Structures are given as C-alpha cells and as structure tokens.
Structure 1
Amino acid sequence: MGLKFDAFGIFVNDLKVMTEFYRDILGVEIQWDGNGPHAEFLHEGIRFMMYERKELPGYLGTEVSYPNGINGTFELAIDLPEFSDVDIEFKRVVDSGATPVLYPRTEPWGMRSSFILDPEGNLIEIGSWGKGKNK
C-alpha cells in the first residue's frame, strides 16, 4: 500500500479571521470555540487544519519564514461538477469578500479555472473538469 496523506494544515497569522473566511465565505464546516492556536474543519476525505504561525517556532524549536503577498508556494483546489458552477461560485465568493486573482476561463487542457485569495494571500482555485461549455 502506498503513502496516504491524512491531513493538510495552513499556518496563519490570524486564526479567527481565517476560520471565519473558510466557514462563512467558502462554507467549510467547523466546530471551533475560538480558543487555542489550532482549529480543524469538518471536511470529508482529508483533515483540514489551521495553526497560528506565532506558535510554530516554539513548537519546532527553530525559526521559520513565510511568504509575503500572494503565496505562490501551494494552492487549495476546489473541483466543481460543471463549468458553469465555476462562474457561479467565483462570483458568489468574490461578492462575499474574497479577492479575485484570475477570473473564470477555460484552459487549453480542458479545465474551467479561476483563482481567489484568502485573507492571508493563499491561492484557492475554483475549477471544474466537467462537461460545461462556458467560455
């Protein structure tokens, strides 16, 4: 049997703002009481966590660094069923306060794709490999 990832985590500056964005704007469920440096969302398939950056050096026993501006080191990808869903979801989250980066477009490899930023500059792709025909 091969390696299987159990979880992914994001190290954040403001845990409250970030959990509110992912809960209220993206709609990811969470049962977090607002206390402590760690929050875990209710997410099927893989655990999704956030941890306060200020706690990490003490935990690891060494200094760490973080990107500034748009974080181009990873993306979180949302896969929707149909191409038209990308346009609808992109508009909804931008109208709700997400920062747009790449407006929906159909890529040469056959995917409908768009990108937004979370409050700390992490890239979130809203895309679909569906059968839609939006251009």
Structure 2
Amino acid sequence: MASLLSPAFAYTVVYVKDVAKSVAFYAKAFGYTVRRLDESHRWGELESGQTTIAFTPLHQHETDDLTGAVRIPRSGNERAPVEICFAYQDVDAAFKRAVENGAVPVREPEEKEWGQKVGYVRDIDGIVVRMGSYVNEPPSSK
C-alpha cells in the first residue's frame, strides 16, 4: 500500500499561446481525446492514461507573480527546456499523422541502438514532441 507521502504523478502542464488551439492541435495531431476545455480557455486537458496533459496560457497571474514569464522558443534554433514524449505502436503512422495535422517535422522516425524507434516534431508553440515505440523491459535476473 502506498504511503500518504508517496506522490502520484498527476499532471504535465504545458504553457501555450492559445489553450483552445493547442488542445485541438494535440487531439488531432497526436490522437488524444479532449477531457476538458473550460469556458475561459485558461485550462484544457487531454485524456492520456494515468497522468493528464494540461494546457494553460503563457501568462497568468497565478504563476507569473511567482516565477516570471514562461518563454516559448523564438525560432527553430531554440528549444524549450522540456520535451513531451508519446509512445505509439506504429511510430511511422503517428509521425505522418502529426505532420499532416500541423506538426513541424524535426527528425524522421529511426531505429535506435537501444531497440526503440523514435521521431521528433515540433508543436504549434515550438515545443519538441518525441514520438517513440514502446520499449521492452529487459528480462529480470533471478
């Protein structure tokens, strides 16, 4: 049984220029179902398994006062200090779908030496999204 002090990873919050546009983009480009988009368009969520992918505006009084402004990459030569990673059974099809729906291709899917197929795109705010196959756990030693 988990201790009261053992946390569960609940959310990844992505700061974006336009919450409604980002929620719609992620749903269409990456295949997620929208769980929630509030009427103010200051918060949106996607169904994503045990954790939630949430979106909120770049600037909001709850966080700007505490931490300063969030910065989105200004060009293709910069990247945000976060990478969003999604796992797919068919990475090639997922990559194609993302690009057809507005994601900017960064690196085509390729087999990696650790046995995973991985490709990269940028979302509509310039954030890098890693698309990879599921990685099999190594056999446990008994």
What TM-score does the superposition give when structure 2 sets the normalisation length?
A: 0.77
Q: State the distance in 2 between where 1:78 and 1:15 align.
A: 20
Match of 2:87 among 67, 70, 79: 79
Tell whether 2:34 aligns with 1:26: no
Q: State the distance in 2 between where 1:23 and 1:65 align.
A: 23
Q: Structure 1 vs Structure 2: percent identity of aligned residues?
A: 21
Number of residue pairs the alignment of both structures matches = 126
Any stretches of 5+ residues in structure 1 without a counterpart? none
Deviation at 1:27, TM superposition (A): 2.0
Residue in 1 that maps onto 2:62: 59
Residue in 2 that maps onto 1:117: 122
In structure 2, relative to structure 1, the CA distance for the partners of 1:65 and 1:35 (3 Å cut) is closer
Deviation at 1:101, TM superposition (A): 0.3
Out of 59-68 and 89-98, give the one that drifted further. Answer: 59-68
Q: State the distance in 2 between where 1:74 and 1:51 align.
A: 15
Large movers: runs of 4+ above 6 Å: none
In structure 2, relative to structure 1, the CA distance for the partners of 1:36 and 1:87 (3 Å cut) is closer
Any stretches of 5+ residues in structure 2 without a counterpart? 137-142
Alignment of 1:98-113 (within 5 A): 98-113=103-118
| Greater relative CO (CA pairs within 8 A, separation 6+) | 1
Tell whether 2:9 aligns with 1:5: yes
Deviation at 1:125, TM superposition (A): 1.0
> Is the CA contact (8 Å cut-off) linking 1:80 and 1:130 kept in structure 2?
no
> Is the CA contact (8 Å cut-off) linking 2:116 and 2:134 kept in structure 1?
yes
Q: CA RMSD, aligned part only?
A: 2.1
- One-letter amino acid of the counterpart of residue 79, structure 2: N
Out of 97-106 and 67-76, give the one that drifted further. Answer: 67-76
